[in-house]
Amino acid sequence: MSGSTLPGTGDDDAEDRVILHVDMDCFYASCERLREPGLRGEPVVVGMGYEQGETIGAVATASYEAREYGVDSAQPISQAVERLPPVERPDIGDEDSDRGHYRPVDMEFYESVAAAVKEILHDCADTVREVSVDEAYLDVTDRTSWERVDEPTTASGAAERRTLAEGLARHVRERIARKVGVPASVGVASNMAAAKVASDHDKPDGLTVVPPNRVAGFLAPLPVEEIHGIGPVRASELRDLGIETAGALAAADRAMLRDRFGDRGRELHERANGTDGREVTPRGRPKSLSRESSFSSATDDDAAKREKLRHLAAAVAERARTKGVLYRTIGIKAVTPPYDVNTRAESLSGPVDEPELVEEVALSLAAEFEGEPVRKLGVRVSNLSFTDGEQSNLDGFEAAADVDSAREESGVDELPADGTDTTEPAPAEPDDRSGQFSLGEFDG
C-alpha cells in the first residue's frame, strides 16, 4: 500500500468510533455469477443434496430473483428447486429437464473469491474481524471520522455535506465491486451492533450510514428481530411481552428484561438504545502492530513531527518486545491535508527486535514530508514473527473462542453447547431458524 491514498481520515482523539460492517450479498450465488456471467439477473440457488442419489440437502444461498419464487436459505433443496421456473437446456433438449439455476456448493472457489475481498478489507482498515467467509467488521476510526465535508453530488457542481466515514465506506464497497466483481452491502455506525443492522438495511449493494447522534432514532421503528443478537425465538418471547419494535425494547423496563432474560436482557436493551461497547478484535495473530497520533491542527513544524514519531516508534517497539514479536518491515503513515493517507515502508533482511532501528527508519521515511503540513502520523511494524510460546492474543487481538461471542455474531439465540465458532463455514447442522440444515452461510 506504499504511496497510496484513501479518501477520509480523522482524529484519533474523537469520542466516537467508526465501524464498518461489510456483508457480501448472496455471496455463493454472486460467486457463481462471477464465473458464469449469463446467470446475472436469473434465479440462482446454491446448495447441496440435489445431485443424483442424494435425498437430503438444503439451500445455502438463494439469489434475490430466486427469493421472489419463495425460495429461502435453509429450505430443503428439492422443495426450493421445484419452486423455480423451468430452464431451457439446449444440450439436453427437454426444457422441463432442469428447473431454475441450481449450482452445488463449491467452497474452494468461494474461498478464493473471499480471499480477494479480504485482501481489500485489510488494505482499507487497520483492524478487521473476519466473522465468516462473507462477512467482516472493520474499525476505521484511525482512517476516517464523522466530520462532514462538502462533496459534489451532481454534474452541475451542487454539493452535499457528507461524512468522511461515508466516503471511505463507499470506497470500500466500490473497490470490491471493481476489483473482485461481487456486490457487497456496507453499514457504517459507531458500534458493531448498529453497523450490522445498517448493512442489512439496504440490500443488495447498499450503503447505510448512521451517525452517532442518529443511532437510536434509526433503530426505533425497526422490528425487534432486526436488533443484532435477536433471533426468532427471542423475538417471539419479546412479542409475548408486547415488545415488537426496537424502540419498544429501548423503552422497556431494564430490570424486567434482566429478570426475564438475565444478562442477555440487559445487553439487548443497550443494543436497542444504540449502545454496544464491544471492540473490533481480529481473530488469530495480527499482521501488524501500530500506533498513531493526530496533531490538534495540521502542522509543518518538522521538529514537532520528529518528536511525535520518536514517541510512536518507542511505543510500537515496546509493545512488540513485550509480546515477544519480531518484525521484518517498518513503516509510517502521514496524513496530509485535505485528507490524504500516505504510507511508506522499508523491508529488512530478516526479523528483528530493535527499538532504535524502528525510530531510525521511521524518521528516515518521514523525511519525505519535511516542510509539508501533516495532520496525523503513525508508525507500524509488520511481517511479524512470533516466538514459540506466543499465542494469538496480543492485547486487542484475541481469537474469539467463547460461546457468547459466536452467538452474538451469528445472530441466532443459541449455539451448540460445544461453542462452535462461526469463523469458517461449518458442515451441515441443524439451524434454529428453520429446523432445516445450515451450510454455514445464510446471507442477505
Active site residues: 135
CB atoms within 10 A of CB 442: 21
Note whether 168 and 151 are within 8 A (CB): no
Classified as helix, coil or strand, 235 is helix
Cell 528516515, located at residue: 364
β-bridge mates for residue 344, sequence order: 332
Note whether 341 and 326 are within 8 A (CB): no
Sheet containing 58-62: give its strands across. 58-62, 44-48, 101-104
Note whether 132 and 424 are within 8 A (CB): yes
Task: Work out whether strand 340-352 and strand 288-299 pair parallel, antiparallel, or are unpaired.
Answer: unpaired
If phi > 0 it is left, if psi is from -120 to 50 it is alpha, else beta; for residue 22 that is beta
Note whether 2 and 420 are within 8 A (CB): no
The sign of the dihedral angle between the CA atoms of 271, 277, 283, 288 is positive
Q: How far apart are CA 245 and CA 197, in angstroms?
A: 14
